[in-house]
Structure 1
Amino acid sequence: MGVSGLLLALAGCGLVIAGCGQGTATATPAAEGKGAEAAAPAAGGEGLSRASAPTPWVKARAAGEQALLEAPAVVLAPPEAAGAVSAPFAARVMRIHVQPGQEIAQGAPVIDVLMPELIGASGAYAAAGTRLAAYRRRKAQLDGLRADGLAKLSEIGEVEAQIADAEASQQIAAATLRSAGMGPGSAGQVLASGGKVTLRSPVSGVVTELRATLGEMRDPSGEPLARVVGAGAARVEARVATRPPEGARYDLVIGAASPVPLKKVAQAPAVDARDGTLKIWLEADVALNAPHGALGKVRVRVASESGAVVVPAAALALQDGHAIVVARKTGQPLPVTVLTTAGADALIQGELTEGDEVAAEAARALAQDGEGVP
């Protein structure tokens, strides 16, 4: 049962107990014979304890390192630890340099491909450069003749338009080269190699997938030709049922391995509407010896110095919409914050310390005092 459900049930119980206490209490013959002595508190009783319906008192226990909850978790790979090798344009596989399971360094050759579109762009860039050089030489000649009055303005205007057209063609070809991760200076290399381009690994790691066959034509919208996964600091993503309290501690448990302490680095601003859980992200101070994608669980624990204590769940009640316990030292309801409930116990925070006594049944204590539970 959730904390809110528990407290609502306690509220209803308090109303029933209060009604029963006020409507059915009658004096027994023995009590009539003793007079006022029967109404006096039992020896040693304090606060709300009454002889007519005594409420036992229990001591608040230290929370220690009690676990608040356990949540499913997954180890996430950092962005820089995984990479895909793909051709930006339609490509024919010419050579494969690696095998699945092979460890390679960042920048190592993976696959050689032939991309017709890239060859066309390289040729267009080189051709535009050739035309541009010729037009600029012609422009220089016309400028010299114009100084002597031998060149027409129309001729100069025409060659300037040709220069502009060649520059535009060159810029279009350069944009295509850049989209393939190559600079304009690579156009000559592509043409010199017959159009062959070597695709390289974007990260250091192990080749986990290889989906290439010699001679096949691959579309850029399809699956990557290869995937490389490396090591790196990983984050852990967990889905918790309730928002962890400030100062909570976290451990990652995977199988039979020893728990790994974690620290929370972020949490989602809202719960997931699909299942009502809240995502939190955590990191370890040391390197996680767990493969990326590994499934486990995160234990959320309350720190011993948090001031939280454990009391029976029945020691809680609702008053004015807030959780309370009845403290023996004051005899009055004491507001508390309920962190979690587990079985017959509740973990709470408030103006209580280990050893302080509270009414074991708050609803009964309030009914004895004639207050009832709102």
Structure 2
Amino acid sequence: MKAEKITHERLGETVWLARASCGAEIALIPKPGFATSSGWFGLRYGSTDTKFRVGEQEEILVPDGSAHFLEHKLFEGREEKVFDRFGEIGADFNGGTGFRSTTYHFTSAGRFVEGLEVLLDFVQHPLITEERVEKEKGIIEQEVRMYEDLPHFRGLFLLHRGLYHQHPVRIPPGGAVSEVRRTSAAHLQACFDAFYRPENMKLALAGDFDPEEVFAMVEDRLDSSSGRPEVTRLYPEEAETPCAAVMEECFEVVRPHIWIGWRESAGLGLGPENLRRHVLASLVLDLALGDASVHHQELYETGIVDQSFHTGYSSDSDWGYAVAAGESDN
């Protein structure tokens, strides 16, 4: 495996970048003398990837929330729960599903190699059966209902529905309870086979280790997906203007929650232009409305905003928006 070494003199950091023979991208950050190490294994696959085509086959449509459901099934492991396997070596572990990504990560103060072995194993070798899927549905339904009871969560997706006509970011990553109930093992297996393939995955590791030894270990433990047909993601066409100027929803809260958004007319891809827009938008929002800004101080002193007020910018290849939100009676 040929690796590229990048060193930042001012920061005193070194990153090793490589691509495994199976296509997975790997980034290593050696931290000599550090007691803690960490590993992140992720892929470009998330809640918005519910419609796709594998090779020349017919379109595959899976329930909303399938990526999140699949994350739960990977946690279960084949013979032992993944949380238990990490717990046995004293490592903290978790994962998460976004709109276009799924990640699994661990942190440990020792036994790094064992933690990495567990990470690479369970992500690539799940056991998905109808019995296991049915058993998990009640747990996921409870999680979905919990989020539906959070005002800031409901407000964010109300904003998304106002900004976008058809884009799947309108739908929470967990999906609706009705979607959870109709999810099958076949749905989840189709998603795993389509997206959990090395060329769609990235591995990032940081800790006190020898990069050459870690590269060799990872190369040996990553599966190959050679010969698999290409996967095409299918997204709906989205209008360039917002779906609605104002949207309201009644919910039992102490004070009104207000969300104001400004969306891009179209996506900016995943290259430097998107990164540049993200950095600049975040900087402008902070200068104009951040805690240290003059305007924020005026809004705070007049009682229009309080400590709940916040701003942000979110984007991906085909969507992007800025938001200012908080609780206010004015």
User: TM-score, normalising length from structure 2?
Assistant: 0.18
Larger radius of gyration: 1
Q: Which has the higher strand share?
A: 1
Structure number with greater CO (CA < 8 Å, separation at least 6) is 1
User: TM-score, normalising length from structure 1?
Assistant: 0.16
